[in-house]
Structures are given as C-alpha cells and as structure tokens.
Amino acid sequence: MRVCRSPTGLSFSRYLYSDSIGKRLAPLILSRTMLDILESALNVPKLYYGVLAGIGFCSYYLFEVVKKPLLVCAPGPFLNFLEEHVPILRSKFWPTLWCFESRAQTIFASVLRSRLLPRVQYRREILTLSDGGEVALDWAEESCSSESPIIIILPGLTGASQAEYIKCLVGAAKDIGVRCVTFNNRGLGGVKLKTPRTYCAANCEDLSEVVEHVRKLHPTVPIGATGISMGGLILGNYLAQLGPLAKKKLNAALAISVPWNVFEGTKSIEKPYLNLMLNKHLTENLCRTVERYHQNSTFFDLDMENVLKSKTVREFDTNFTVKHFGYKDVEDYYSNATLHNKLHLIEVPLLCLSAADDPFQPLEAIPINEVNKSSNVAIIVTSRGGHIGFLEGVWPAKKEQYMGKIFSQYFTAIFTSSIVQPDTSECKLKNN
C-alpha cells in the first residue's frame, strides 16, 4: 500500500489522530491550588506557568494537529496523476488554531459559512422523472460559456442548493470557470413532493436520470460529479452499480466526508454526549422534512406519529426509510447503502476527502485496504476536519477554503489533462 504508515513509522491511525485533546493537554492544566503551591515554593510568578501552558499548547498543535494529508491509492496512473496535478497534497493541513476539535470543526464550519457566504443566484430547472416525480436542478453559470465543463453536486442528508458547503464549492467552481448544477433531492429545495417516493442513501435511480439528462443537454462537454456526506454515498453507489457504463456519462467524481461504512458511522454518532447531540439534531431535521411532506399529501401509508417520535437516525431509518423503500430491516438498508465493499466496481476516477476525526465515520471504518486494491479510487485523509468542516488558518471565514481548494485543483486537472476521455477533453477554463 502506498501510504499506510507515517514518515516516522507510527501506525496509520496513531499518525493521523492521537488521543483526545483533553488527555493530551491534561498535564498542562494546573489547578489554582497547585499554582499557588508552586509559586510559593519556587517564588515564580503565575504568568510564567501561563507562558509554559501556551508553549505546551502550541507544541501540541504543531506536532500533533498539523500534519500533511495522507493520499491512499493503489499504485498506477491515477495515483501518479494526483501527485502531479493536485499540489495541495504536498502541503500540511493547518486546522484552525482555536477550532480543531472534530465537533467544533463540524459545527463552526456550518455556522461560519452559513453566515458569511452569500446566497447563490441560480437558474432553476425542474426535471420531471420517469415516475412523475420532480426534482430541482439549480444551475450556477456565471462567467461561464456553453463550452465550460459542468459539475453535478449532490448535497447531504437534508441539504439543498443553498446549504453552506454547497455555496463554498459553487464559489470555488466559479473561480475556475466551471458550471455547477446542484441536484436537490425530491421534496427539497422548495419543490413539493409529487409522488409517494422520497430518497435514501442506497437509491441512485434519480441521480441516474439527472446525469442522463445533463449529458443529453451537453453531449460534448466534460461533466464531473461531487457528493457530500450522504450525497457521496448516493454518488458512490451510482458509480459502483453502473461500473464501466458510468464512464460514458462522467469524466470524474469527488466525494467529501462520506460515511463509508454506515453501520460504523451510525454507531459513532450514537456515542454520548456530543456525537449524540449531533445525531439528535440531524434526526430533528429529518422529522421536520417528512412532517412537511405528510402535511402536504396523503402519500405515506405509515405510522407517522411513530416516525416523528424518532430520536436518532437509526430510529428514523427503522420507522421510515426501511418501510418506505421496502427493506427487510435497518441492517438490510445499511448493508445496501454501505460503500466501502463496492469500490472495486468503480471505474470512473473518484477522489475522496475524509477526516480522521469525522464524528460520522470513525477512522477505523475508512476503507484503506479496499482503496489500495482499486486503481480508480483514492482517499485524502486529513488528521482533523470533522464532518464537512476542514476549517484552516487563524480566521477560517476566508473565501478560499480547504475543501474548495481540493475541489478546484482536482477538477481543473481532470478537465485539462489526458486522463479524461479524448472526445470531451476540450474545455474553457479561466487562467489561474
């Protein structure tokens, strides 16, 4: 395997993500009584101990937090391509100094982006699907031409085109002259549910119709796709199910913060207390979404009162998703949605960005061994970053963010290099 050990010889997991911050900083945190004793015995001002604690914190940050991301991929053309054309992989990732804990990265990234990134002006297209359902395709085409490449973006579990992480990626695409079209799942993005069917992580039929539609509209333009969180699961399952046929539709794909192993991811977000709080918040969003569906229709022949009592994602999936999509039980659904054991079926170049401390996917569940056997899938693993966080720098509100840099560097290289199919290699990008 190309990178499963650190340069210092530490194990993969130890190199990426050492023990919790509290355990590592505990020796640096002295009680007031201890400081009084030391000051009295040594006649040293308390300020010196504050300086010592500051030095200890900075040392911890520099040696345990700041690390070069690991690129995991089987040897071959795709690995060589990434090492040559994605320069950010050669630099260390500097998580925000005051916000590098996993849950802090997850929460602050959402809050800061939602408050600081402006709304995107889209051109909306309503696509009617084969069963009569409708989805909204939101196009961001500013400063682009009819020959500019296109990237289809799949939001997370309850996200839509104005989600803060979508706005981050759309801004990055605009800077390199690439068009984006955000695929809002059924019933999201302000579009009413037209049929009894919603969406789930294992079902990629709607995505297949969207990709086919975009390809028919633009038969000679390079097209990529990006999935975030659950959107990455849908995208990955689409690529695995279609195998070589997907290469006729898409030039390349990117997945960010994918919950690779749904079983392990669900266990992780059920751990008290902070992870469980994130779990309950996500479940509340899911319940509000289906409650809105139910109020506007009589589609669901389910015990909606029981559904709306769900307190965790697992309970919601048991009460709603499993029954709605006809699975035997929640284990059957999670097995169908899980992606880590399907990577050998993917033939479209797929780059993935994962954080070793993602609360929605433990480090041990990132499919390092499986990726090592696939010549078309690569994973960038950062030591920190949380779930769709990846905040960096002293003030992480700047326009150009880490996952946006990965996004723009990767697709710029894909759309301008020989790794794409010859008949769609022509495109117009801005000069960087």
pLDDT above 60: residue 15? no
pLDDT above 80: residue 56? yes
Parallel/antiparallel/unpaired status of strands 223-228 and 150-154: parallel
Quick one: 410 and 342 in the same domain?
yes
Query: In CATH, what number is assigned to the domain containing residue 369?
Result: 3.40.50.1820
Mean pLDDT value of segment 367-382? 95
- The label of the residue with tokens 């797929």 reads 350
Q: Confirm whether pTM is higher than 0.85.
A: yes
Quick one: 387 and 239 in the same domain?
yes
- Give the structural domain span for 90: 70-261+338-424
How many domains, in total, are found in the chain?
3
Quick one: 102 and 171 in the same domain?
yes
Q: How far apart are CA 235 and CA 154, in angstroms?
A: 8
Last residue of a domain, one of 334, 369, 387: 334
Q: How many helices (H) and strands (E) does the chain have?
A: 17, 9
Question: How do residues 237-276 score in pLDDT, each as one tens digit?
Answer: 999 999 999 999 999 999 999 999 999 999 999 999 999 9
Q: How far apart are CA 229 and CA 198, in angstroms?
A: 18
Q: Which two tokens stand for residue 119?
A: 């709304």
Quick one: 76 and 128 in the same domain?
yes
Cβ within 8 Å of residue 390, ≥6 positions away: 93, 95, 105, 109, 353, 355, 382, 401, 402, 403
Quick one: 171 and 194 in the same domain?
yes
Q: How far apart are CA 283 and CA 247, in angstroms?
A: 35
Quick one: 80 and 118 in the same domain?
yes
Q: How far apart are CA 292 and CA 257, in angstroms?
A: 27
User: Is residue 324 a contact partner of residue 198, using CB atoms and an 8 Å limit?
Assistant: yes
pLDDT at 46: 64
Quick one: 128 and 235 in the same domain?
yes
The answer as to whether 3 is a domain residue is no
Quick one: 328 and 234 in the same domain?
no
User: Is residue 344 a contact partner of residue 374, using CB atoms and an 8 Å limit?
Assistant: yes
The answer as to whether 430 is a domain residue is no
Quick one: 161 and 60 in the same domain?
no
Last residue of a domain, one of 65, 80, 105: 65
Quick one: 190 and 216 in the same domain?
yes
The answer as to whether 7 is a domain residue is no
The answer as to whether 1 is a domain residue is no
Provide the pLDDT confidence category of residue 54 given band limits of 50, 70 and 90: confident
- Helix, coil or strand: residue 159: coil
Q: How far apart are CA 284 and CA 296, in angstroms?
A: 19
Last residue of a domain, one of 286, 304, 334: 334
Specify whether the backbone of 399 is left (phi greater than 0), alpha (psi in -120 to 50) or beta: alpha
Provide the pLDDT confidence category of residue 11 given band limits of 50, 70 and 90: low
The answer as to whether 139 is a domain residue is yes
The answer as to whether 98 is a domain residue is yes
pLDDT at 417: 81
Quick one: 78 and 206 in the same domain?
yes
Quick one: 82 and 98 in the same domain?
yes
Question: How do residues 175-223 score in pLDDT, each as one tens digit?
Answer: 999 999 999 999 999 999 999 899 999 999 999 999 999 999 999 999 9
Cα 312 to the center of its chain, rounded Å: 20
Read off φ and ψ for residue 59, nearest 5 degrees: -65, -45
pLDDT at 36: 63
pLDDT above 50: residue 10? no
Q: How far apart are CA 75 and CA 98, in angstroms?
A: 37
The answer as to whether 4 is a domain residue is no
Catalytic residue numbers, as ranges: 229, 358, 387
The strand pairing partners of 183, in sequence order, are: 137
